[in-house]
Amino acid sequence: MVASRGKQKEYEARILEAARKVCSIFPSGAIRLSEEPDLLIKSAGGDLGVEITELLREDTGPFSPVKNEDFHRKVVRLAEERYRDLDAEPVHVGVMFLDEARCKSENPEGWRRLADRKVGRKLENMANSLVEFVKNHSGRAGVPTTFKKREMPGQMDADTLPAGFEVISISRPPAAWASGESATIPPLDREQLRRAIDKKNSLLPRYRANTRDMPIWLLIYSGPSVSRGVPIPRVARSWRFPFDFEKVLLFSGMDNEVIEISRG
């Protein structure tokens, strides 16, 4: 538990350092690990407390986005192994997976087929459908070929992706097959950001008791990984929220940008 807490603190310090590199609003000075708030910046102009919180993609299915990413990697690895067993011409395959909620909504028939345990586990069903698609289309892989047309109810044809996939690209020279998450991740919702600010704002009296009138900033981080991070919409620059921190800052790892959230 202690080791895990230490790694968390180091992770928070790396977030603050990365934000400071892209935004001059942060004072220079040594970063010190702390508790409530998470970090302190020791600068010539006075000390500053910084509380860190991370925005994660909200779950859209029975598993978290991180677990979904792990599952999708297993699908691609299994498909690659089974494709090699066919002794087919080697190719490179890149895959983007469709968000489960979108797949269920736009193609419920395809999703039911995919999840039907009578014909096999979901992992095997997806891997087999990927192998079949690549086998049928690898002849066009002299140049990179990208397929994006998704199966809809009653609209299946030769170039339609199997259920659960958003993009499949096939190319040469051959290389290890690659897995990625949805290319159309829902952007940050205003309500999700409000909840994150409110949660930390409710703890601010405790932070102030520990810092003896030191100013305290809240740094909200969304990472670059599509399995964890949340795209920040441009409209977020105009959002206003009530809070008692001296500053609230939103750091997008996807855009490598820090946005100051207005109080209101």
Which pLDDT tens digit goes with each residue over 234-263?
Answer: 899 999 999 999 999 999 987 889 999 999
Residue 258, beta-bridge partner list: 251
**Judgement on whether residues 141 and 94 belong to the same structural domain of the protein:** yes
Q: Which of 156, 180, 204 is the last residue of a domain?
A: 180
**Judgement on whether residues 79 and 171 belong to the same structural domain of the protein:** yes
Rounded to two decimals, the pTM is: 0.60
Q: Which of 180, 195, 227 is the last residue of a domain?
A: 180
**Judgement on whether residues 12 and 81 belong to the same structural domain of the protein:** no
**Judgement on whether residues 29 and 104 belong to the same structural domain of the protein:** no
**Judgement on whether residues 171 and 239 belong to the same structural domain of the protein:** no
Q: Which of 146, 180, 214 is the last residue of a domain?
A: 180
How many structural domains is the chain composed of?
2
**Judgement on whether residues 150 and 253 belong to the same structural domain of the protein:** no
**Judgement on whether residues 118 and 191 belong to the same structural domain of the protein:** no
pLDDT in tens, 48-83: 999 999 987 665 554 455 677 788 899 999 999 999
**Judgement on whether residues 73 and 153 belong to the same structural domain of the protein:** yes
Question: Sheet holding 178-180: strands in order across?
Answer: 145-147, 165-171, 92-97, 178-180
The Cα–Cα gap between 202 and 208 comes to 12
Q: 121 is in which domain, residue-wise?
A: 65-180
| Mean pLDDT score, 181-192 | 74
**Judgement on whether residues 192 and 92 belong to the same structural domain of the protein:** no
